[in-house]
Chain A
Amino acid sequence: MTHVQMGELNQETCKINSDEKKLLNEFLEALLNEQNQTLGEIK
């Protein structure tokens, strides 16, 4: 079952589209929730 996800490089990667903006917002929210959390503590 070892498989690796392949992605395609996008030359326009610097620009953030609206979906990516949502991802960025969700990242920030998750970061707030995970303050000081380590892999060991998640376990």
Chain B
Amino acid sequence: MIETRTPAKCLVIQLARLGDTLQSLMALRAAKQLYPHLEIHFLVRESFADAARRVPWIKHVYTLPSQDLLAPILSGSRTLTDTLPELEKWIAPIRAESWQYLINWTFSEASSYLTALIPAQIKLGYTRGSDHTMQGTDGWSHYIQAIVQGKIPQNIHLTDVFTTQLLTALQIHDGEPANQGHAAVTSKNFFSLTLTETEIAQISCDSRKRWIGLQIGASRDSKTLSPRKWAQFVEYFLERNQEYGIFLLGGKSDKTREQEFIAELSPNAQAWLQKKVIVSFVGESTFDLWASLLSRCQWLISGDTAAIHLASLLGTRVINLSLGEVSYAETGPYGNGHYVVRPTHSDIPITPQVIYSTWTYANSEWAHKKQTTLEEHFSHLNGSHVLEGVEIYRSKIRPTAEGGGVNFEPMIRRPLSLNLWTSRVMGHIARAWYCGWIPEITQEISREQIAPELLQMIRQYEESSEVLSKICVQASRIANTIHTKSLSLKSTKIMRLQEKEELQDLANKLQELEELIVRLGRTHSPILAFSQMLKVLLQHLQGDHLVELGRDTSLVYRHILEGVNIFKSWVKFTLQLGKPVALQPKLVPVSELHVHRSGKDLSP
């Protein structure tokens, strides 16, 4: 289809790390496919700019020279004031452009100042208000602030948040997309890469072999395996799969780890290094080489988020070792058929056998077509005890009718924890708030996942969610009364004493109700989501007059109430599912009722 719309200039700010940059690029690819007239420019830190520079449809990459700016200040050779003219010079050409869209996907304090400083017709993400307080410009930004950064479990992947946030804005301001955008977002050709002759020679490994990439490092040691475990895994793997080779991947900071890994290999395994069955690229990888290697791999095994996202973008399947404080639901591998392996508790180690058995199951999906369960597969290979202390999930892009986005399906049948239950409820509520519709709860939870411990906890929320919804109704009414009473005032500064006292009384009641919600949130953890969201939304109220503040506060409470009602439905449905089967009321279609009651059709 030929694009006839005039280009819409769009600047995306991503000042976080490479993993976040790659997630942003994936979301932008989806938007670019649907709205080809978008002219996308990208603002990123210099150290992570290469990924954006290699994307052919990114018009221009601006880089923030954060090291050049900050290093002299940190060393004491310059002051903040000395640095300002340089910063002013840097931002001038960006401010001079006529941006239609400015999208800040960094979700940090610092980036919010940039959003405020760069003029644009439409802004998304964090910015600063006229009094310099932080403001979220849209619903998803409030959700990130209150829920994601507020440490409430939720299961919407950040790539889906970015995509939905941008597409909603585009739909509002640019109308329906020019095409349906069914093309895959990920591909081996996502980047336009250039390799030097040396790099081409390096990458020209045995073409008969299949390759597995191991990203041995991560931003923290706690997020990856120890060199000994990696070595054990490699030996275990190569002894059983001689048609495969291993690419060892990592940055300059992983050189020590690489040496420790090599030292841990047995003498026999050391020979694999000589025969180039194990090829190390640790410390040598430019972005182009790294991406080329990953696109040659059949699988990547990694705990490092940047490597996971890069492999996802390139369509390389991933086994994500989800170690330490990371949320696979939010930042795990995006796409179909990736696996996440995670210990049930931080003290429990992930063994090389578990990783290997997960890989053999995942790699033979085409043969068993999931007719064999992962549990049966593990049982054949090692005995089921190996699965104790491990959670394993498989990623799947859900059809729109089931809620859309990436979903991580549990591969081991276990009762649902309160955290997982809460994360599903929050995902459901977010869809209602920001997508305007929700799939049936029946698609999200089933009877076999409900354990008595979960029911016991959820029973407590039956009463508290009821109380919460009543508070929201009352608060919304009071705020609306403030709005109505203010409308009849000639001035909000000069009023009769009685009017002033009435308004003050209403404001005090509203304050009491807000405090009540905060107290409920402290005692019942899933309800904390609502008190945090309330706090964020109330902070974002922008009106200067009582009339506007009353009206907007009423809307805020109605918004919270919408979420609370969904929460109540989940509580009710889960408790219903937990009842013994014999006591479950059987749902009978209305058309059959007459027949059941009288034994014959009563219709004339």
Contacts and interface: CB of A to CB of B under 8 A. Distances in A.
Contacts of B330: 43
B46 to A, nearest CB: 13
Contacts of A6: 121-122
A5 B91 contact: no
Given A28-B83, A40-B305, A34 B139 contact: no
Interface string A18-33: 0011111111111111
B456 to A, nearest CB: 29
Interface in A1-43: 1-10, 13-14, 16, 20-35, 37-40, 42-43
Contacts of B219: 38
Nearest to B98: A9
Nearest to B23: A39
A24 B84 contact: yes
B226 interface: no
B418 interface: no
Contacts of A26: 113, 132
A40 B114 contact: no
Given A4-B137, A27-B117, A38-B20, A21 B142 contact: no
Contacts of B120: 7, 9
B107 A39 contact: yes
B252 to A, nearest CB: 16
25 contacts: A1-B139, A2-B138, A2-B139, A4-B124, A4-B172, A7-B119, A7-B122, A7-B123, A9-B120, A9-B121, A13-B119, A14-B92, A16-B91, A23-B113, A23-B117, A24-B117, A27-B113, A31-B110, A32-B74, A33-B109, A38-B17, A39-B107, A40-B19, A40-B326, A42-B107
Interface of A: 1-10, 13-14, 16, 20-35, 37-40, 42-43
Given A1-B434, A14-B96, A31-B70, 20 more contacts: A1-B559, A2-B172, A2-B434, A4-B137, A4-B138, A4-B169, A5-B127, A6-B121, A7-B121, A9-B119, A14-B92, A23-B128, A24-B84, A24-B91, A25-B80, A27-B110, A27-B114, A32-B74, A38-B17, A42-B107
